[in-house]
Structures are given as structure tokens and as C-alpha cells.
Amino acid sequence: MRLELGRIYIKDIQFGPETKVSNGLLTVNREELAKLLKEDERIKEVKIDIARPGEKVRIIPVKDVIEPRIKVGSKAKGFPGVTAGMHRVGLGRTNVLYGAAVVTIGDIVGMQEGIVDMFGEGAKWTPFSKTYNLVVDITPAAGLEPHSHETAVRLAGLKASTYLAKCAENMEAEEVIVYEMDNMAENIRKYPDLPKVVYVEMLISQGLLHDGFIYGVNSKEILPTLIHPNEELDGAVISGNCVAACDKITTYQHQNNSVIQDLYSKHGKELNFLGVILTPELTTLEGKFRSCEMTANLAKMLGADGVIVSEEGYGNPDTDLLIICKKLEQEGVKTVLITDECSGQDGFSQPLADTTPEAKAVISAGNVSHLVKLDPADVILGNIAAVENISGGWHESVQEDGRVFCELNAIIGATSEIGFHNATTVLR
């Protein structure tokens, strides 16, 4: 399967009479986009703004971030099974407005949305301080129940990203990134001496707005599922959850999954990348045992010599992470875990809610409880009062001078467990 991502580099965004890309400038017809999104009767009002890297802008409460993309030469325009009919992705050409992002905000429903700062200390912690962001603020119709409210906001972001990318469908890309992999049998034949590696990606799947989606199917309704890595890179997996902002895997991060990209870079050289197992993180003990058992069995059936497991969220999903590790290690499969830590603001608390002696190789994406002080912003897009109600914030987080005190919990992508973030490890 061969996927080509044609990058069209975006170096600025502005509003204008026509949505188009020219010489790196993305011009957006704000009124046309707002009208499109308001076709959904659940949406009362749409406000659209722009946030550029370095501007003293704070965006809150962020629900999702999406990279604008369009399938070239295909009748299906949008995310499969969600904003477009069910269609296969992971092959052919997809054009990407590289450097641009759609950021959705709106009335808070759950407590686990987040902040994107485009400047100062906050910008250091979120990867989306470096993108040119079209910020879409959704006001829902009165009386919507929470799930309908959230669905409307998230669909609006996905629709907005497709709307933006349509103008670049027939443009010539400045750079083409190719992801190509033979079928599993052929790969094993071609690379008999390379260790066979499987990537297990855990998806928060716990209801109450805490769910990922695969081809439009809620992840809590699936059993562990093997997919081609190209499918995730091409929009088959999207965010639909409000897990803590720091390790929420946004749709943008699924589209650019760092683990998949790194494994691809070593495929056929240092290892044989077999594929991706998507695993739901469920709330019941029976559900956890079922998912973990089937995940380990799938990896064994594929003949994996090594498995990388990334978590989404923390707390009870730590148990899923460790059960998978234990089962694989006891079967002789080398296992590497990617997680973050909830170690308290002083860093001395137990980092995970569970443990097992088989967890010998663990990569930390950082401490979600680390305290940060954010400088005053000149412009607030959204509602700064939401800080007090999101994970990592508290009453009086916002100071009189406009500074914000919060934990990394509150910052979008700060401790991403697929490695798509700015944190690094310092050995002392």
C-alpha cells in the first residue's frame, strides 16, 4: 500500500473574499465557512479567528486540532465514515495544508479540554504554537444534551478542515512524503533477518465523551483491531474525546502519529514494521482483560519479536498498559511502553496507577502535574474562565495581572504519549 502526502506549505493565514492558497498564504472566506458550518441545526453561531505563531494569543478551551487535508482525485471528500461515506484510505495522493491547523473551541461540557498559547512559556509546551491556526468557536443551539453538543462541535472542526483543503486539491505539492509498505507476507519474505515489530496504540474508550473513532466507529464498541499504518496517517482514526488535554491525542496527532513515522523510518533497515493494533481502553475489569488478552494474542499471531505500546490518558488506563506488557513479556515478546506520569507537582508521587516487574522499558512523556506559569495574553480566543474547570486548573488559576497558573494537564499535547510534543528528557 502506497500513500503520498503532498505538502503545500502554509506560511500565513488571512481572511478574504475567496478561500485559496497562493505563495504560502492561505486566504479564508470567513462568512462562507461559517455559513457551511451553521447548516448543522445544532449550531447556533460560529465565530472564526486566526492565531499565528508568536502572537500573544491564548486559545481556550480547545477541544480538537485537525490538519486540513483533501484526497486528490477521489469523490470522497472528508473523513471516512464520519464526514464522508465509508471509503478506504491509506493509499493514493492526499494534499496537506502543511503548517495550518483548525482548532475548535466552545462551551465546555466535560472538564478535560485545554489551552494553546501561541507565545511565551505556554508555547514551549504545545506543538500547536507552531502552526497557523484557524480557530473555530462554536455556540450550540439551546437545550442540546452533552453528547449532541460535543458531536456538533467536533464535526464542525472536521468539516472546516476539509473546506480549507479543497482549494488545494489540484495544486502541485512542494514536497511529497511517501509511506509505502508491502503486505505482511511479502515483508517477512523480504526481511527475514530483521526483528518483526508491531505498534499497539491504546485509545481512550470510556464513554461520557471519552472515545476515539476508527472509520466512524466508536472505539469502545470494537475489539482490538489490526490496521495498516497508512490508514491512520490518512484520516481513519480521529479524536472524539475530552481526556486530559496534555495527553489527549488530537485528530492532528493521529494524522501525524510520531510512533508510526519513526517506525516507518526504520522499516526495512533496522526492523520489519508489521502494522498497528488499535486497542480500546475500557472501564470495566472484564473489558480490560478481554482487550488486553486479545491484543497480546494478535501480536503473537503476527509473529512479533517486539511491541511498542502507547497509552492515551492516565489513571485506570495504566492497568491496561501494564497488563498488555506483562502478557507479552511472559510470552517472550520484548515490549516498550510509552506513557506519561502523574507524579504530583513536586514529582515525588507514584507516577502510574499500576505496575508490574515485566515493565522493563518505559518511555516517559513527562509529568502531567508539573506546574507552569503562563504570561498574560493580549488576546483571548474563547473563554479564559474555563481554566478553573479544566483538568490542571483550579479556582483563582487566573491572576489579576492576566497570568495563569496551571499544571501541564491543562495544555494541549504537552505530554503526548505518541511522542508528538515538545518535551524532552534530560539525564542528570
The three grid cell numbers given for residue 392, joined into one nine-digit string = 490542571
CB count in 10 Å sphere of residue 260: 22
Task: Indicate the DSSP class of residue 271.
Answer: B
Burial class of residue 340 in the structure, from the number of CB atoms within 10 Å of its CB (0-12 exposed, 13-18 middle, 19+ buried): buried
Helices 285-301 and 317-330 cross at an angle (nearest 10°) of: 40
Say whether 292 is catalytic: no
CA distance 326 to 335: 9
Residues 6+ apart with CB under 8 A from 417: 247, 249, 310, 311, 312, 338, 339, 340, 365
Alpha helices in 60-166 (DSSP H): 120-125, 146-166
- At residue 45, what is the residue type? E
C-alpha cell at 83: 464526514
As a whole number of Å, the end-to-end CA separation of the chain is 44
What is the CB neighbour count within 10 angstroms for residue 291?
23
Please tell me the distance from the alpha carbon of residue 156 to that of residue 146, in angstroms, as a whole number: 16
> Which residue is catalytic, options 242, 246, 292, 406?
242
What distances in angstroms separate CA 113 from CA 89, 203, 228, 412, 424, one per listed residue?
29, 17, 30, 8, 23
Residue 168 contacts by C-beta under 8 Å, 6 or more apart in sequence? 8, 21, 70, 95, 97
Q: Are 27 and 15 in contact (CB under 8 A)?
A: yes
Tell me how far apart the alpha carbons of residues 15 and 187 are, in angstroms, rounded to a whole number. 48
* The C-alpha cell that represents 85 in the structure block: 461515506
> What is the distance between the alpha carbons of residues 114 and 64, in angstroms, rounded to a whole number?
9
The residue count for the chain:
428
Please, what is the angle between helix 30-37 and helix 146-166, to 10°?
Answer: 140
At 353, list the grid cell: 496507577
Active site residues: 242
